[in-house]
Amino acid sequence: MEFEEKVTAVEHLFDGTVIDLDRETVQLPNGKTSYREIVRHHGAVGVIAITPADKMVFIKQWRAPLGQVTLEIPAGKIEPNEQNSPLETAMRELNEEVRYQAEKLELIMPFYTSPGFADEKIYLYHASGLTPVKEELPQDEDEFLEKVELTQAEALKAMQSGLICDSKTIMAVMFWQLMR
């Protein structure tokens, strides 16, 4: 069976700070025409940071789309000058958000967040050998963050309560469980 859709036209609808939006006209495998609204994103990183005391590092912050506070792993978008180095983004975000540096950053896996409508790819890293940074990078002006360190049992409770509710952080906690 043929699956590939052929793009016959692209209408660029929106240029944003975080995302862009395109509307594609596609020819389906059966010859009919359909439309796809696609969110374009530069990509991002997420960092599974485990302290020497065996606690995972999270960020507490407000998430406007959800209308609630969440706990998430340190993460952030890949800046245009970092396109060829998600590792560089991971190091920067670890410093900016939780003020740690890692002796070792290992790529666990890249994954797509919602391939039904977005091309956002997140590179998930595991950080080990954490130590406080000597030189702090400035935080984003529009971010209000609080560092939180949880045991595995506390992280699982936060998942059950809905405080941890995003895919990258749930994957990180599950990875942490598998590490044991």
The one catalytic residue among 2, 4, 135, 141: 141
Question: How far is 22 from 5, CA to CA, in rounded Å?
Answer: 16
Q: Where are the beta strands (DSSP E) in the chain?
A: 6-15, 19-27, 33-41, 44-49, 56-63, 68-72, 75-77, 100-112, 121-132, 146-150
Please say if 136 is a catalytic residue.
no
β-strand 68-72 against 56-63: which pairing, if any? antiparallel
CB 151 within 8 A of CB 55: yes
Residues with a catalytic annotation lie at 141
